[in-house]
A and B are shown apart, each in its own frame.
Chain A
Amino acid sequence: MKLHKLTPVAAAIAAALSIGAAQAQVSDNVIKIGVLSDMSSLYTDLAGAGSVIAARMAVDDSGIEKRGYKVEVVSADHQNKPDVGSAIARQWYDQDKVDVIVDVPNSGVALAVNQITKEKGKVFLANGPASSDLTGKACSPNTVHWTYDTWMLANGTGSAIVKSGGDSWFFLTSDYAFGHALERDTEAVVLKNGGKVLGKVRHPLNNQDFSSFLLQAQQSKAKIVGLANAGGDTTNSIKQAAEFGIVKGGQNLAGLLVFITDVHALGLQTAQGLILTNTFYWDQNEASRAFSKRFAALDKGIHPSMVHAGVYASTLHYLKAIEALKSDDGTKVVAKMKETPTDDPLFGKGTIRVDGRKIHPAYLVEVKKPSESKGPWDYYKVRATIPADQAFRPLKDGECPLVK
């Protein structure tokens, strides 16, 4: 058996796939938007191709091309690997003249892209990643963290659950930057509200079987099993928790980061009653419904997640700043974005703080029972709105060096 031959072959194929996605060089008078996302693995549905569609829609709706600007949208797959993501980001900035990278689900990759963007003086519109470190100790004058973050999730879902009696927790945590940040921020909220943490277990990213971990959660006798994971990992945890009778045994699940695409994948039968926090729901108002209808028509019927909405809104605001400045100099554009109040059809009026944090309200929602839902994608009822000034971490607590 010549198994040792296998590794270089597989590596060569992987390398070819990752490089193939980046596009050829273009002249300098073009605004080039690079959507760096998970195009093939567990975060594809909540970001992925939908993010490319959302960016394209933002370009069209901005009308910037009618005013003489040339805009190009390119995309690539970071495969959830920080090294692959970094290589693409460098190539995009150095050779392909990409001006801005958007999306980047996966905090590990996003923290790497954040650093590279700062070095190169370009722009990073972070919509996919969750880690609150992006506007904390890793904050950058070139990054805007738009959609959501781990502090907001912890503060929304975590405190709502502790206040309704769920005061002992066991964490099931995805073992990388995002899971660690989400666990840390949620633990702080639990402790602050008088709850306690009985245990935690870290599972590898993109895990299939959660039964061992769920069994440990069961034996901890914690009232709440907090899922500090995302995408396919969350859906598999919830599905298998139902199988092992976690909820029937008196424990409750807290999905700390659940996207609408996850709820769709689980089906209401399994997902009903879950409480979660998000910043965008397609059925919020006339404007969000109109956007979602157009989006779904382009993305195989998938309704936009908050990440897709964030990609759209942040790209729109970015293009506005470029037009106002008549320059695509990254650092200046981000400064302009922070200076200009935001106003878009999906998140309404808002601001961007000096640490790069975009400020808007968050919504605590509950997943409907099958009997309450009028059909596919009618999934949430809003339990509470967390006002914009309370939804995100106070500026002074983030340890961001840009805050003086």
Chain B
Amino acid sequence: MELFGIPTAALFGQLLIGLINGAFYAMLSLGLAVIFGLLNIINFTHGAQYMMGAFCAYLMLEHWGVGYWLSLLIAPIAVGATGVIIERTMLSRLYKLDHLYGLLLTFGLALIIQGLFTNYYGSSGQPYRLPQEFVGTFNLGFMFLPKYRAWVIVASLVVCFTTWFVIERTKLGSYLRAATENPALVQAFGINVPRMITLTYGFGVGLAALAGVMAAPIYQVSPQMGANLIIVVFAVVVIGGMGSIMGAILTGFGLGVIEGLTKVFYPEASNTVIFVIMVIVLLVKPAGLFGKER
């Protein structure tokens, strides 16, 4: 059976792969959306922090024999802690200024971090062994799905929807959202707003690092891995609507699928298709698909 000249089996395979890539877009754009939504900072360091997560896992395995599962926990905390330091020492001074200052600072930081890692580890990257549990593939009939990729989809869905739930449906989340609307008032209710903001940034950064650890067994752990991804992820956030959490998640998965299909029908355009969509969305709905006009 064929659809648009492509066997349906092949099409299913590509849809699934699109979803897997979408899972990474979703996890990364989620962190960006959280940080932008609550801090009003466009975190250009996000790609570098994703890379740091992967490197953290690699270094722990290499030097201390710390395995994948423990890395999944430790790397986000460790990288998140560096995020907290960045927020306390630098970002917190910029909240009153234009977005552009935060963007420039985080962009500069990203260049510095990537440069340092390239200097130490070169560009070819380091291999990270697939955890033993995930060696092998599932035969789905229409394709062989590597077990690890299946895990990536599941884990990413859990992470994304937990984050959405915490921010949109819990009391803690309501404090956070209130603090972005009117920090002075929330402070007056006895809540330590600056600390909450610091922790939010740390959490967003931790999400990036978590995605990095999950990417490590698939991609080479290389200093460039974040730089390659971050521009696409920004497009995802813009299309979804800056600051919209659900928007980031849905757009992440959706664009992963669209990109995957482009790789079948016209592979040469696969790295531009997302930007074409971004242009169209910005023309039709400048605040993004799920964003609110401010």
Hey, which chain B residues are within 8 Å of A42, CB to CB? 123, 224
Hey, which chain A residues are within 8 Å of B118, CB to CB? 40, 44
Q: What distance in Å separates the Cβ of A282 from its nearest Cβ neighbour in chain B?
A: 16
Stretch of A56-64, A127-135, A211-219 with 4 or more beta carbons under 8 angstroms from chain B: A211-219
Hey, which chain A residues are within 8 Å of B18, CB to CB? 212
CB within 8 Å of A: which B21-71 residues: 21
B270 & A203 in contact (Cβ 8 Å cutoff): yes
A44 & B14 in contact (Cβ 8 Å cutoff): no
B197 on the A face (CB < 8 A) = no
Hey, which chain B residues are within 8 Å of A300, CB to CB? 120, 122
B267 & A48 in contact (Cβ 8 Å cutoff): no
Kindly state the separation between the CA atoms of A269 and B7 in the bound complex, as whole angstroms. 34
Q: CB within 8 A of A13: which of B20, B107, B127, B219?
A: B107
CB within 8 Å of A: which B202-248 residues: 218-220, 222, 224-225, 228-229, 238, 242
B123 & A212 in contact (Cβ 8 Å cutoff): no
Q: What distance in Å separates the Cβ of B38 from its nearest Cβ neighbour in chain A?
A: 15
A208-B228, A212-B14, A213-B263 given as contacts; is B124 within 8 A of A244 (CB)? Answer: no
Q: CB within 8 A of B104: which of A2, A9, A208?
A: A9
Q: What distance in Å separates the Cβ of A8 from its nearest Cβ neighbour in chain B?
A: 11
Stretch of B80-88, B143-151, B162-170 with 4 or more beta carbons under 8 angstroms from chain A: B143-151
**CB-nearest residue of chain A to B123:** A44
Which of B7, B137, B263 has the most C-beta atoms of chain A within 10 angstroms of its own C-beta? B263
A3 & B238 in contact (Cβ 8 Å cutoff): yes
**CB-nearest residue of chain B to A249:** B144
A204-B271, A240-B218, A244-B137 given as contacts; is B123 within 8 A of A43 (CB)? Answer: yes
A209 on the B face (CB < 8 A) = yes
A215 & B14 in contact (Cβ 8 Å cutoff): yes
**CB-nearest residue of chain A to B130:** A243
Q: What distance in Å separates the Cβ of B215 from its nearest Cβ neighbour in chain A?
A: 9
Q: What distance in Å separates the Cβ of B211 from its nearest Cβ neighbour in chain A?
A: 13
Number of interface residues of B (CB under 8 A): 50
Q: What distance in Å separates the Cβ of B196 from its nearest Cβ neighbour in chain A?
A: 23
Majority secondary structure of chain B interface residues (helix, strand, loop or mixed) = helix
B271 & A207 in contact (Cβ 8 Å cutoff): yes
A332 on the B face (CB < 8 A) = no
Q: What distance in Å separates the Cβ of A10 from its nearest Cβ neighbour in chain B?
A: 7
Kindly state the separation between the CA atoms of A245 and B143 in the bound complex, as whole angstroms. 11
B264 & A41 in contact (Cβ 8 Å cutoff): no
A265 & B263 in contact (Cβ 8 Å cutoff): no
CB within 8 Å of A: which B101-127 residues: 103-104, 107, 111, 115, 118, 120, 122-127
B122 & A41 in contact (Cβ 8 Å cutoff): no
Kindly state the separation between the CA atoms of A262 and B122 in the bound complex, as whole angstroms. 11
Chain A 249-265 per-residue mask, 1 if CB under 8 angstroms from chain B, else 0: 10000000000011011
Hey, which chain B residues are within 8 Å of A243, CB to CB? 130, 146, 148-149, 218
Kindly state the separation between the CA atoms of A44 and B220 in the bound complex, as whole angstroms. 15
A239 & B219 in contact (Cβ 8 Å cutoff): yes
Q: What distance in Å separates the Cβ of B237 from its nearest Cβ neighbour in chain A?
A: 10
B107 & A216 in contact (Cβ 8 Å cutoff): no
A267 on the B face (CB < 8 A) = yes
B107 & A41 in contact (Cβ 8 Å cutoff): no
Chain B 82-101 per-residue mask, 1 if CB under 8 angstroms from chain A, else 0: 00000000000000001110
**CB-nearest residue of chain A to B231:** A10
Q: CB within 8 A of A202: which of B7, B20, B122, B267?
A: B267
B10 on the A face (CB < 8 A) = yes
Kindly state the separation between the CA atoms of A219 and B13 in the bound complex, as whole angstroms. 10
A206 on the B face (CB < 8 A) = yes
Q: CB within 8 A of B13: which of A10, A13, A215, A236?
A: A215
A235 on the B face (CB < 8 A) = yes
B130 & A215 in contact (Cβ 8 Å cutoff): no
Q: What distance in Å separates the Cβ of B71 from its nearest Cβ neighbour in chain A?
A: 18
A2-B99, A243-B130, A300-B122 given as contacts; is B263 within 8 A of A212 (CB)? Answer: yes
**CB-nearest residue of chain B to A204:** B271
B17 on the A face (CB < 8 A) = yes
B228 & A206 in contact (Cβ 8 Å cutoff): yes
Hey, which chain B residues are within 8 Å of A261, CB to CB? 122, 124
Hey, which chain B residues are within 8 Å of A202, CB to CB? 267-268
A202-B268, A215-B143, A216-B263 given. 9 additional CB < 8 A pairs? Answer: A9-B107, A204-B271, A209-B219, A212-B263, A212-B267, A219-B13, A231-B123, A244-B137, A270-B127
8 chain-A/chain-B pairs, Cβ below 8 angstroms: A2-B99, A9-B100, A9-B104, A40-B115, A42-B224, A48-B123, A215-B143, A232-B224
Closest 3 CB pairs of A and B: A265-B124, A44-B123, A212-B263
List residues of chain B with CB under 8 Å of any chain A CB.
7, 9-10, 13-14, 17-18, 20-21, 98-100, 103-104, 107, 111, 115, 118, 120, 122-127, 129-130, 137, 143-144, 146, 148-149, 218-220, 222, 224-225, 228-229, 238, 242, 260, 263-264, 267-268, 270-271
